[in-house]
Structure 1
Amino acid sequence: MGSGIGANIRRLREERGWSQARLAREVCRVARVAGEPVGRQEVSRWETGKRMPREWLPSLGAALGVTVDALTAPHRPAEPSLPTLADFLPDEDPLIPLEGGKGRRVGMGTVDELQQRVHGLRLADDVLAGGDLIRPALRDLRRVVRLYRESTHTPEVGRQLLRQVGELAQISGWIASDAGRHEEAERIYRLGISAARLAEDHTLAGNLAGSLAYQMSNTGRESEGLILAQAAFRDARAEAPPKARALYLDRVAWAHTKAGGAENGQQAMRALGEAGQALSEDSDGTESPAYLYWVDVGELRVMESRVYTELHRPLRAVPLLREVLSDYDATHTREMALYLSWLAVALADANEPEEAAAVAERVISLGSDMLSERVAERVRVILGRLQEYADVPEVAALLAEHPAA
């Protein structure tokens, strides 16, 4: 029984990308104990079966977002692990072409086929979660890298192949991040940045760096995220089209918001204003990369509402979120769940716990069968925020029904 508990603890911890030290801190936080009576070594003993958690089981379950029964359930053989980028790339520098160029010759027709494949993956990401797409995304990334390394091609075709590596790395990194594979996503993003820089595509490199900055801001690396988001904007803005500049500034705004503090809040609002100004410069005659198809006024409003929510300004956030959600494409289930999650928090901040609980219930319903760590994390945030209103009947019912959501 002990080894089963240990295996469950380790599996749940690794699914969240937590270190043993991080889990120890979370257990102490949930248990509301002073100091650190549980440390990394204690978690290690639990996982190896050398010691039973016993009195810590309820706090462990709460920290990991599962019931005690789930922790003590018999251990089942693990499913085949998800692939990593290392499984699909050579040990040496993956972007160094093989000497001699002995592979088949490829031309722009191959590049066009790859562009369609990459765009198809982006469209799939609009309606599917990261856990559903990570395997095909990594297979495609391996294929494109191998094609670049092993084929014979002209310098221009080589540059275009590198751009496809970069574009595929951007969407694959996003997918890996949504699957909760943050370290893997960072490796993918960095590979893409290298490819984009070799192709001398500074707009694409900025998009990849901004995506990595966004992940950092959302995973406890706020200072790094802010520095990288600002660098991505500075390095690429000279040649970036308006949509790209708007996206870079959007990420700068979010990075400032997550960094916290009054001054960062002001900087976030300034960046949002500049993003809106940049997008207003976009016109039918302005050519933007295909991967920016989703950047529009509605997306900027979403970010603005999220910033207001994070800054605890619900009177500004709630109307914006309602406006965005009123005509949002319902087939984009993950984004719908994420935007509703911000609405639920904003309603709680506005002292509307009954309505917040109703919205939270919808978020949980939408995310129940979704392999998205982003949605799972937002559910945990909502339920944590609603703890303050645990005496409100609607909230109490929600918390009782979803204790391990």
Structure 2
Amino acid sequence: MATSGEAIARLLAEAGWQPEQLARRLNECAERHGRTERLHPKTPYKWKRGDVPRSPWPALTTALLSEQLQRTISLDELGWPDEGFEAAPASAGLDLPWSSTGALRAAEVVNESEGMMHRRMFLTLLGSALTSPAHEWLIAQPPTDIASTAGRHLSGEVVDHLDAVTASLRRMDDHLGSGHTLGLVRQHLSVVVGALRERSYTDTVGQRLHATAGELLRLAGWLSFDDGHHTQAQRFWIAGLYQANAAGDRGLGANILGFMSCQAKDLGQLRQAVTLAETARASYPAASPKVATILDLRAAEAYANNRAETDTRRALDNAFGRFTDSRPEHGDPDWSYWINEAQAHAQAGYCFVKLEDWPRARDHLRTALRLQGNEYTREGALRNALLATTYVRQEQPELDKALALGDQAVQTLTGQVTSARCIKHVRNLVGALAPYRRTPAVRQFCQDAKDLIAA
């Protein structure tokens, strides 16, 4: 029987990886899943000599090798002991019927206790697995019977109150960030799920409850994504698609796909980002100009990351064109409140940063900052960091302007809001400033940003 060292050596050879490549991929995987542990590039050489890795590396190693070799690699095959830590895909437990019962179960599964979540390591969906839930939602038929006869009657007025709390949580996120809000969202989701399970209601009220649960799952996914927990975000969003289908709400489902597209581009899954964004646009009947604008901007971001300039510009033109159609009879959903001209310019600025068109990026980002006023929000910090980057990356850098904007971003993210996603853009700014580290002001800014980035 092969020793553990022989087993890992054989599997690495089959995968075509050197130990350093395995270490790099494991570190990327750990970061993607919110883990703080990191491997030294030479550590897998010790495994080849028979050393047994500590948690979470056995579970991550079997998952990565299984994905690379397209077959299941177990701890037994590697000769490593069971660490009591299960690795499972983000979709685990969510292969459910597209019915009201399936939707309720999906919400319960992803909102289970933290203890249950801690004993399992859910692995981020990549490649075709990332777009599979979108395709299932697209072809699913909304259930026809949503009513419940369990427990005391629940009226539409109660759903109004539940929705008011949801709206408050959305706005709390704008000003406090993901780290302070997710726990409250999960508590409120538990209340809504309890109502779905334990109360009686009509079809209409049932659809509204599922829509409320779906928006809370969308928000929980966004907060998780903004905080760097990609797998948790995917689980919330998949469950949200079940709610959107049960509610018969194509706008809600399309919006969730838009957020999944945003995450896909951050994970480097650029083709999947386009697929998700275009699936969202194709699935939505464009009843609300605001919602259609959101979906156009998601598509623009996906195309910009693919360096597809023509498609990016076309999507941006569509988005800005919709602002002329703001008639009140469209009935824009409450969750679309955040899309306004400032946000549209900010997302356009991001697109042109990705296309390395610094003058256009700067024009849009300046407009976004002017329109937002003096609010110290997460989005303001992001806009400052992106605008600062344009001044560094242009042909003739203007470091004073870049550092002033960078300081504002750091101050907001240090004292006002929390956002791992925005901190990543500050890290990118520090990287862009690296050639100028001998300049005292640049060196001071990088030092000031160091604690924020490390946190």
Q: Report the TM-score, using the length of structure 1 for normalisation.
A: 0.76
1:85 aligned onto 2:123:
no
Cα distance in 1 between the residues matched to 2:228 and 2:263 = 10
Matched with 2:33 is 17
1:395 equivalent in structure 2: 442
User: Structure 2 vs 1, CA of residues 100 and 323 (structure 1 numbering), >3 Å: closer, same or farther?
Assistant: closer
CA–CA separation in structure 2 for the residues paired with 1:202 and 1:302: 26
Displacement of 1:367 in angstroms is 1.1
- How far did residue 380 of structure 1 move? 1.0
1:145-294 pair list within 5 angstroms: 145-236=193-284, 238-258=285-305, 260-261=306-307, 264-294=308-338
Alignment partner of 1:247: what SS? helix
SS in 2 for 1:291: helix
1:130 maps to 178
- Contact 2:403–2:442 under 8 Å retained in 1: yes
Q: Residue deviations 1:326-368, cap 9 Å, x none?
A: 2424334211111101111111112222321222122112212
Q: 1:98 to 1:315 in 2, by over 3 A?
A: closer
Aligned partners of 1:209 and 1:232 also within 8 Å:
yes
Assess if the C-alpha contact under 8 Å between 2:300 and 2:312 holds in 1. yes
Across the two proteins, how many residue pairs are aligned to each other?
A: 345
Please list, as runs of the form range in 1=range in 2, the aligned pairs for 1:31-50 lying within 5 A after superposition: 37=42
CA shift, 1:391, in A, is 3.1
Per the TM alignment, residue 127 of structure 1 is displaced from its structure 2 partner at its CA by 0.8
Q: Which residue of the partner structure matches residue 320 of structure 1?
A: 364
Q: What is the CA–CA distance in structure 1 between the aligned matches of 2:176 and 2:448, rounded to whole Å?
A: 26
Which residue of 364, 369, 374 maps to 1:330? Answer: 374
Q: Percent same amino acid at aligned positions? A: 24
Q: Is the 8 A contact 1:196 1:202 kept in 2?
A: yes
2:344 to 267, 280, 300: 300
1:379 and 2:426 matched: yes
**AA in 2 matched with 1:345:** T
Shift of 1:228: 0.6
Say if 1:295 and 1:99 are closer, same or farther in 2 by CA, change over 3 A: closer
- Offset at 1:46? 8.2
Give the gaps of 5 or more residues in structure 1.
1-9, 28-35, 51-82
Q: What is the rounded CA distance, in whole Å, between the counterparts of 1:132 and 1:40 in structure 2?
A: 41
Structure 1 residue aligned with 2:72: none
> 1:400–1:166: structure 2 CA closer, same or farther, 3 Å change rule?
closer
CA-based RMSD of the aligned residues comes to: 3.5
SS at match of 1:195: helix
TM score, norm. by length of structure 2: 0.68
Find the aligned partners of 1:386 and 1:308 in 2 and give their Cα distance: 19
- Partners in 2 of 1:323 and 1:241 — Cα distance? 25
1:367 aligns to 2:437 (yes or no): no
Task: Note if contact 1:229-1:252 (Cα within 8 Å) is conserved in structure 2.
Answer: yes
Report the CA distance between 1:88 and its aligned residue.
7.9
CA distance in 1, matches of 2:298, 2:369: 21
